[in-house]
Amino acid sequence: MKRTHERTAVAAVLFLGALAQGARPQQAEAEKAELPKYEKVAGLELRGTLDSVGSDTMNNLMTYWAEGFASYYPEVKVQVEGKGSSTAPPALIEGTAHFGPMSRAMKASEIDEFEQALGYKPTCLRTCLDALAVFVNKDNPIESLSLEQVDAVFSKTRNRGFPEDVTTWGQLGLTGAWASQPISAFGRNSASGTYGFFKETALAKGDYKDTVKEQPGSSAVVQGVAESRGGIGYSGIGYRTSDVRAVPLSTAKGKEAFAADIENVLNEDYPLGRYLYIYVNRAPGKALDPMVREFLKFVYSREGQQVVEKAGYLPLPVDVCRAERELLD
């Protein structure tokens, strides 16, 4: 357990160099220690309801955070509603939600709508990292896939340039009985941020095939793949079960393939890593509602980031966590 933490910390520093250009490395070195624990603000009695509307990938994460937060402030009730990332911006604009968890960044059009309605931009907070995994049935012997192959399985436009449409496992290199096994592709419905992210990155903005079976939830995708022998589908790595296997992915044919685990995402070797966000509505110059602020502080505390691991996602590097936390004050 402890070793994992150390490794995470080391990987976090590596990640820093690769990703956060603005941060000063020596400062991060000093602060890489550990995140502070959440401390209840003395004398602050919070009471009321917090609403979260948005991503269903983050549904469980938000619920875990809500459960953890409730152990500090039993009088604060956090309601979680998750029907897809696209439901977050309207809910924030209408004021029906305090938090808009999203598994992708807001689109420019969504930010514009927000700005038109309220006169300022929404505040974007990165909460954790996720690796989007490509799952196959546990009996499937395939060793690795390149993004071109994945693109050719899921997309009809094949923007990544695979020469032919892929419909059987034989076309991906399997032999024997598997060669003629048809591929049965499972995906998410279009309100999902996972759908959008996969389209954006893996399919290079191409269009999905009509034969991709759209599922109402991330674990429905996994269950579909588990039930169907020739199945393939994408979901957050947190949804894996013993009936499916996450295939290592490479960015292009012939390159090394990387498994969807913590280090590979932090090193940016794994091609389908992403941030999971929470958007909040905060007028410029105004302080956040204390309830909202404390909840978000909990998210960025050691407890909050441990919960992330439990939900199957990857905690933020410590310095990113600190940077986001500073946005709250």
Residue 191: partners with Cβ closer than 8 Å, 6 or more residues away = 83, 84, 85, 86, 87
Nearest Cα to 17, choosing from 277, 266, 270, 326?
266
Contacts 24+ apart (CB under 8 A), 165-170: 169/140, 169/142, 169/230
Nearest Cα to 298, choosing from 281, 321, 272?
321
CB of 236 to another protein, least distance (A): 8
User: Looking at beta carbons only, is 55 or 250 nearer to another protein?
Assistant: 55
User: Looking at beta carbons only, is 49 or 211 nearer to another protein?
Assistant: 49
CB of 147 to another protein, least distance (A): 25
In the complex, which residues of this chain contact another protein (CB under 8 A)? 1, 37-38, 40, 49, 51, 56, 59-60, 63-64, 66-67, 70-72, 74, 77-83, 94-96, 98, 138-139, 177, 215-220, 222-223, 229, 236, 238-243, 289, 303, 309-312
CB of 232 to another protein, least distance (A): 17
- Where do the H-state alpha helices sit in 46-139? 59-72, 88-94, 108-118
CB of 57 to another protein, least distance (A): 9
Q: How far is CA 186 from the centre of its chain?
A: 18
User: Looking at beta carbons only, is 252 or 283 nearer to another protein?
Assistant: 283
Residue 215: partners with Cβ closer than 8 Å, 6 or more residues away = 186, 187, 188, 189, 221, 224, 233
Backbone angles phi, psi at 122, to 5 degrees: -70, 155
SS3 13: helix
The H or E element containing residue 133 is strand 123-137
Q: Which two tokens stand for residue 38?
A: 């959440």
CB of 119 to another protein, least distance (A): 15
User: Looking at beta carbons only, is 98 or 160 nearer to another protein?
Assistant: 98
User: Looking at beta carbons only, is 262 or 321 nearer to another protein?
Assistant: 262
> Cβ distance 315 to 305 under 8 Å?
yes
Q: Which two tokens stand for residue 219?
A: 């674990």
User: Looking at beta carbons only, is 155 or 215 nearer to another protein?
Assistant: 215
Residues paired with residue 15 on neighbouring β-strands, in sequence order: none
Alpha-carbon distance 271 to 268, whole Å? 7
CB of 215 to another protein, least distance (A): 7
The pairing of strands 273-280 and 244-246 is unpaired
User: Looking at beta carbons only, is 206 or 315 nearer to another protein?
Assistant: 315
CB of 252 to another protein, least distance (A): 29
CB of 168 to another protein, least distance (A): 16
User: Looking at beta carbons only, is 7 or 138 nearer to another protein?
Assistant: 138
